[in-house]
Amino acid sequence: MTLKGGLGPSLLPESLRDQNETVLARIIRDGVLGTPMPPWAFEISEPEALWLVRNLKDGLDDQ
Ligand code: HEM
């Protein structure tokens, strides 16, 4: 809820700034094997994952 991480890494704009959006979208859809990050491809399409990444990189309005 704070995007600051805990079990997973921080998803705040400064943490994602230098990361490639295609790679981040792939992480969301495929998950990261051997970590708690689950794959979301069963319900998040590639355009939706890219939308999520771009919004996370831009930051949310209330932050
Ligand atoms: C739709 C919901 C989710 C989104 C959009 C999302 C997004 C992401 C992204 C973008 C990363 C890569 C961050 C980076 O490399 O800097 C990541 C990593 C990670 N996420 Fe998620 N995540 C979601 C749900 C979850 C859930 C439910 C869990 C665990 C219960 C989780 C655990 C993790 C962990 C442990 C990593 C780090 C994996 C590693 O060691 O490389 N995520 N997540």
Total domains in the fold of the chain: 1
| 63 pLDDT more than 70 | no
Question: Among the atoms of ligand 1, which is closest to the Cα of residue 32?
Answer: 38
Ligand 1 contact, 6 CB (< 6 A):
no
Q: Is residue 2 part of a domain?
A: no
The predicted structure's pLDDT at residue 31: 98
- The model's pLDDT over 13-58, given as tens digits with 9 standing for 90+, comes to 999 999 999 999 999 999 999 999 999 999 999 999 999 999 999 9
Instruction: Judge whether 14 lies within some domain.
Output: yes
The answer to which of 7-11, 24-28, 54-58, 59-63 has the lowest mean pLDDT is: 59-63
The 3 state secondary structure assigned to 24-60 is HHHHHHHCCCCCCCCCCCCCCCHHHHHHHHHHHHHCC
Four-point Cα dihedral 22, 1, 63, 49, nearest 10: 20
Residue 60's pLDDT is what? 79
Residue 21 sits in which domain range?
10-42
34 inside domain: yes
In a domain, 56, yes or no: no
pLDDT of residue 48: 98
